Chains A and B, each alone.
Chain A
Amino acid sequence: MSPILYYSLSAVLSALVLLGLAMQSRVPSAMRGNLVCVGVMGLAVLLTLAKEGVKTALLNPWLWLAMAAGAAVGLVWASRIRMIEMPQVVAVLNGIGGLASALVGGLELMKAGSGVFSDVTAALALVIGAVTFSGSLVAALKLARVIDGKPKAFPFHGALSALLLCGCLAGTVLAGFGLAAAALPICAVSALLFGWLFAMRVGGADMPVAISLLNSLSGVAGAIAGMAIYHVLLVAVGGIVGSSGLLLTQIMCRAMNRKLLDILLGRTVKAAPKEEQKEEPAPEESEPDSEPEPEPEPEPEEAPFALKDAKNVIIVPGYGMALSQAQGKVKELADRLKANGATVRFAIHPVAGRMPGHMNVLLAEVDVDYDDLYELDSINDDFASADAVVVVGASDVMNPAAREAEGTPIYGMPILNVDEAPHVFVCNFDLKPGYAGVENPLYRRTHGIRLLLGDAKESLQTLIDEL
């Protein structure tokens, strides 16, 4: 294939990727945008094989076999998972992609005589891919609650991380001097450990940001692997994914009022000051993210206010809704309230759930009209004027402690002003603090709050029955 044709086709495909992403950032065209990206990927594979020469690569059955096996695994897996598992799945997929980049980097590094530029970029691809791999796996394990979700700092965590980074750098330099055999293990081991340390230290409210950042990194890993093998299309697509992923990360940081650097350096580790864990009178509780918990204590006297009198209701969903799969009941409640003549709106905190947009996906699943979904900024002033707020499995995103409790993981995070509402119905699982581990003072309110503890589905049914 002539270079000019190859470069032009690469440019066209890159432009199509940009178009696909742009389409995916608007609701009406999002689905087609994804299909555009699918098409681009298919064409990119064909273009690559064509460039490598029909008689060698294209006819190599092993490559086709490997791709067929990967596609089968990916498709079957994707069709099996439940929506609630989405954050973990994205993290795992991301880690797998990172590992692939790392392997390509390693291969290229070990290939003799490909020049300094290629060797250095290959080592970098190996490093970034390996960091993505181990970091994503830890993130996934944390989200799946296989390991504790709390931020975990080891002794000398920062120094160790810095040392490992130096290891990665040293390995890359060695690669530049052609010492591939030494560079490979140094890069791989330092990077894997660094990714692990990095993700272990991130916890609670920061996890969505970490995943988004790792997502961006895996794009960069691809791009750098592309440099190592002089593949311009791979560089372009990887670069696009890397930077748009970084932008998404920043959008999320902004929503959480946190600095990216703080998260990178693990400055958010400060453990939540442990206030008294469980007050006896128990008008408090939290996000039901720890599923195995004994039945909660009986709820306090119900609020004198009945939901059926409310004309202006705001529903605040959180991860608990995802856990108990209560979105159907939420929709039912909303419909009943509407039939009652009430205005019903949904307040979606940018990081409600485990990923931005997590709640939107779940609510869309049960046909909640997305015109009823409001973002933090556009609804936050309305809580004071609402008649009632129904909280479904959310704690951190409406925790007033974010305003004053300095040093806690959520301090400074913009929250939904649920505490300004005259009547709050809380359908949460138990009294424990949410994912970020910070006690929610809202539950201590003495009036205008009603706590319905236990499975959100049943609590919502209680509310529906009362209507």
Chain B
Amino acid sequence: MKELILIGVFVAASALGYVVIRKVPSLLHTPLMSGMNALSGVTLLGALIAGAAAYLDGKTAALLVALLAAALATVNVAGGFSVTHRMLKMFQKRGTEDEK
């Protein structure tokens, strides 16, 4: 049952995701790709759960792997959002932003 819900959620989310950016103008393709890239670091949540479980079970090796995964995912998230922000800032307010 739980499994079916998960698959259903996946299908529904995919359908919605497919619709939502349909009208994107090409000048936003790169920032959007970068923004979605940051979102894909959401796997961080998985790393946190795996880490919490390993911590509870007292499995050091698994905890270390989970911590590595969490750190990597956070690099993805933080770097991705910040790069996206920098790009979008250039479209947003003109003349005041710092160079490059």
Contact = CB atoms under 8 A, between A and B. Distances in A.
A373 B27 contact: yes
Contact of B21 (A215, A226, A248): A248
- B interface: dominant SS: helix
B80 to A, nearest CB: 5
Contact of B39 (A31, A41, A66, A251): A41
A358 B53 CA distance: 42
Interface stretch (A45-53, A161-169, A388-396, A400-408): A45-53
Interface string B55-99: 110000011011111111111111111111111111110110001
A227 B18 contact: no
Contacts of B26: 255, 348, 350, 356-357, 360, 375
Contact of B71 (A66, A75, A111, A129): A66
A167 B27 CA distance: 40
Given A24-B28, A239-B10, A41 B49 contact: no
Interface residues of A, number: 114
Contact of B28 (A30, A231, A245): A30
Contacts of A310: none
Q: How large is the interface on B (under 10, 10 to 19, 20 to 34, 35 or more residues)?
A: 35 or more
Interface string A107-122: 1101100000100000
Interface in A165-202: none
A357 B62 contact: no
A49 B47 CA distance: 11
Given A100-B73, A212-B33, A221-B43, A367 B84 contact: no
B17 A57 contact: no
A31 B46 contact: no
B74 A225 contact: no
Contacts of A45: 44-45, 48
A155 interface: no
Contacts of A70: 70-78
Nearest to A85: B83
A110 B89 CA distance: 43
A82 interface: yes
4 closest Cβ contacts across the A-B interface? A70-B74, A74-B78, A239-B13, A74-B79
Interface of B: 2-3, 5-7, 9-18, 20-56, 62-63, 65-92, 94-95, 99-100
29 contacts: A14-B13, A17-B39, A21-B36, A26-B25, A41-B77, A48-B45, A49-B52, A63-B52, A67-B44, A78-B83, A90-B80, A101-B43, A103-B66, A104-B43, A108-B46, A117-B3, A222-B46, A228-B46, A229-B49, A233-B42, A234-B42, A235-B13, A247-B21, A356-B29, A357-B28, A357-B33, A360-B91, A364-B27, A375-B25
